Amino acid sequence: MVDWKPIQKVPSATTLDNLDQLNNLGNTSVYLTSKEGIDADPQPAWLGGIKPDQDGRTQDAISSTIILRDHGDGILDAFYFYFYAYNQGNTVLGMEFGDHIGDWEHNMIRFSEGVPQAIWYSQHASGQAFTFGATEKNGKRPIAYSGNGTHANYAISGKHDHTIPGFNLPDGLIVDQTDSGTLWDPILSAYVYNYDASEGTFQAYDSGYPVNWLNFNGQWGDDALPGGPELFGQKKYVAGPNGPKFKKLVRDKVCPSSPCVVLPFRIWENQTLEEHRQRTESS
């Protein structure tokens, strides 16, 4: 849709292979709009997504995308994008804000000569960066905790106030909740691509991976509903997000913007994942 009106002359079956054709029918004003609507009652089951199985795989669903950008000087950025069907916003003063269909979040790991150096955790319109050694690991792989409902990525479990973006205080007015819940291994159900920054093009690592959807310029969800409750300029329902190509795939630092602070603190030094889970459950 554009301006809440169905687009005419769309492909008879919209797929990941032809999604970029919508750029000619509205460009960034195109919204992939749910048939039921974000305010449907009851809400459709698909809004709950697919729970990973015991191995951490989302069965019968490609739920993430890995995009590699090689700087050509020994530096390589590996982006891990996660797609969620629905974002449930935070509750402030008894009112819920920031709900929207479709949600993209990501981590980015920067490698130097094949050795991981730092990792970025996206959090709403901001985020945090840590040295790779500072993060909690499952074996050699870093852990990201997904905020309940909002899906913002955090390096530790617990409460995260984001009233001031990037500060992540232990409590406050606008709080994300994270814990050691279901483990999701996004690489088990993912499409993998290389991004050529000089050409602005994507190449699939497997011929079976669709590519054209990465060039879609529109929004992955409904447009914001007009009207509705509003507090301090914030609304309950907001528009869906744009896709991975708009998440600063080309960046000098591990952060997408400056200033870039890479925190060197060891968060869970000498603590295994199981020990951390036991500590979380007992606290």
Sign, CA dihedral 93-233-46-188, equals negative
Assigned domain for 8 exists: no
Residue 63 CA to residue 68 CA, distance in Å, equals 17
Cα 248–chain centre separation? 13
Assigned domain for 63 exists: yes
Assigned domain for 7 exists: no
Assigned domain for 191 exists: yes
Assigned domain for 89 exists: yes
Assigned domain for 9 exists: no
Per DSSP, 241 falls in state: P
> For residue range 107-136, what is the model confidence (pLDDT) as tens digits?
999 999 999 999 999 999 899 999 999 999
Predicted pLDDT of residue 200: 96
pTM higher than 0.75 for the full model?
Answer: yes
Averages of pLDDT over runs of 10 residues in the chain (283 residues) are 94 93 97 89 89 96 97 97 94 85 97 98 93 94 95 93 75 87 96 97 97 98 82 83 97 95 66 46 43
Let me know: does 32 contact 158? Beta carbons within 8 Å. Answer: no
In this structure, the chain runs to a length of: 283
What are the φ/ψ torsions at residue 68 (nearest 5 degrees)? -105, 130
Predicted pLDDT of residue 278: 53
Overall domain count for the chain = 1
Assigned domain for 1 exists: no
Predicted pLDDT of residue 235: 86
What is the residue range of 252's domain? 19-281
Which residues neighbour 165 within 8 Å (Cβ) at sequence distance 6 or greater? 123, 124, 125, 126
What sections of the chain are H helices per DSSP? 273-282
Burial class (CB in 10 A: 0-12, 13-18, 19+), 204: middle
Assigned domain for 10 exists: no
